[in-house]
Amino acid sequence: MSHSRQSFATPVVTSVNAGSGLEDVIAAETVLSHVDGAAGRLIIRGYDLQDLAGWTFEALLSHLWRDLAPENLDKATIRSELGAARVEAYPIAMSLVGDIDALGDVEALRLMLAALPDATNTPHHSLAVAAVPVFSAAIARRRRNLKPVEPDASLGHAADYMRMLHGVEIDAGRVRALETYLVTVADHGLNASTFTARVVASTRAGLFSSVTGALCALKGPLHGGAPGPVLDMLDAIGEPANIRPWLQAALDRGERLMGFGHRIYRVRDPRADALKAATVLLRDSAERIRFAEKVEIEALALLAERKPLRPLQTNVEFFTALVLEAVGMPRESFTNVFAAGRMAGWTAHVLEQERLGKLIRPQSRYVGPMPA
């Protein structure tokens, strides 16, 4: 068989602008979630976010993993499997927690996640989800010179996360608020960390390597979120009388108001609404929340005045900050709590990618010099 020169030519590839950050490039097909920024909708496997924000985290996992994991488990079975997996992860937290003092919180979580052994009988997707609260609570307690608290396999995932953090069981309202947060941030299209997880999974490196890679992507300030700065802003404003002058002065200096604006959502971020609804559960923080709502109203009014052509709405970080503060999460832990929720999506995407079985291997366009 003879080949023409033509058949060895470089295949035709669709080229994208190198500076575009791959915006608008479709790089995967997924049944898991869809972000419609123009309509302000987040669809998670057939449900609008607001319809499943009230679910337990275990029910959401059952929904996300369905037909992707080797077995379809109901939420009660997932609850007990996660409980057993938290117990399995605990010795890793105990053995490494003494080594984290020179590390930041996400670096410490990265160290512990990377220590999960591929050779384990527990399904990797359950162990990865179970491990993050165990590790993140141990890390947060170490900062306060407190020993890790052993998991209680009989509790729900969010309740045990709170217990392992605080050392005692806490009220159902705060547990439910944390659970709403974990569900709300569980998946969000092909964001940078989820894409990273899928790329690593496509090499068949295994689930723990894939989600550790995802955490590395989440660590960056352009992805891991800005809820800490929202609290810094609220602290700096201080009292209701300062709200409008403080915000005006910040905008006059050309600064951005933290917790407002989004790259994809051009209308209100649906996750902000889901979390705002959860703040009614936080009775002990009612005064702080009322104050934040006043800040939100003034900020939206000022942004509409100053940037009439640019719709700038409240984003997920604004109410994330209030919820995580109210449930007693230290600010340095916020990215790790985000990882605890997003691990649901990462594991589901890894399972979906592994089923496809195709290596992700795009091309680059060479713009360097040619050999003389």
259 forms part of the interface with ligand ACO (CB under 6 A)? yes
Query: Coil, strand or helix: which one is 68?
Result: coil
310 forms part of the interface with ligand ACO (CB under 6 A)? yes
Residue of minimal CB distance from ligand ACO?
A: 261
Stretch that binds ligand ACO, among 48-56, 107-115, 310-318, 364-372 (CB under 6 A): 310-318
Residue whose C-alpha is closest to residue 155's, from 54, 88, 82: 82
- Name the CA dihedral angle for 191, 196, 197, 201, rounded to a multiple of 10 degrees: 140
Q: Which is nearer to ligand ACO, 111 or 214 (CB)?
A: 214
23 forms part of the interface with ligand ACO (CB under 6 A)? no
Q: Which of 125, 262, 298, 352 is catalytic?
A: 262
Q: How far is the CB of 230 from ligand ACO (least distance, A)?
A: 7
Rounded CA gap, 353 and 28, in Å? 9
Which of 147, 283, 307, 355 is close enough to bind ligand ACO by CB under 6 A? 307
Q: Which is nearer to ligand ACO, 213 or 261 (CB)?
A: 261
Question: Given the structure tokens 């605080």, which residue do they identify?
Answer: 166
Q: Which is nearer to ligand ACO, 105 or 317 (CB)?
A: 317
Q: Which long-range contacts (CB under 8 A, 24 or more apart) does 115-121 make?
A: 116/89, 116/92, 116/208, 117/208, 118/206, 118/208, 118/209, 120/88
Task: Note whether 350 and 209 are within 8 A (CB).
Answer: no
Concerning whether 223 is annotated as a catalytic residue, the answer is no
Rounded CA gap, 278 and 325, in Å? 13
Concerning whether 166 is annotated as a catalytic residue, the answer is no
The span from the first CA to the last CA of the chain, in angstroms, equals 34
Q: Which is nearer to ligand ACO, 66 or 263 (CB)?
A: 263
How many CB atoms are located within 10 Å of the residue 50 CB?
15
Q: How far is the CB of 183 from ligand ACO (least distance, A)?
A: 16
Which of 66, 147, 204, 263 is close enough to bind ligand ACO by CB under 6 A? 263
Question: Given the structure tokens 């007693």, which residue do they identify?
Answer: 328
Q: Which residues contact 106 (CB under 8 A, 6 or more apart)?
A: 215, 218, 219, 224, 335, 336, 339
Q: How far is the CB of 15 from ligand ACO (least distance, A)?
A: 23
Q: How far is the CB of 129 from ligand ACO (least distance, A)?
A: 21
Stretch that binds ligand ACO, among 64-72, 143-151, 252-260, 279-287 (CB under 6 A): 252-260
Rounded CA gap, 209 and 205, in Å? 6
| CB burial of residue 91 (10 Å; 0-12, 13-18, 19+) | exposed
How many CB atoms are located within 10 Å of the residue 130 CB?
27
316 forms part of the interface with ligand ACO (CB under 6 A)? yes
Site string for ligand ACO, 204-233 (x = CB under 6 A): ---------------------xx-------
Q: How far is the CB of 339 from ligand ACO (least distance, A)?
A: 13
Q: Which is nearer to ligand ACO, 226 or 274 (CB)?
A: 226
Q: How far is the CB of 189 from ligand ACO (least distance, A)?
A: 12
Binding site for ligand ACO (CB under 6 A): 225-226, 256-263, 303, 307, 310, 312, 315-317
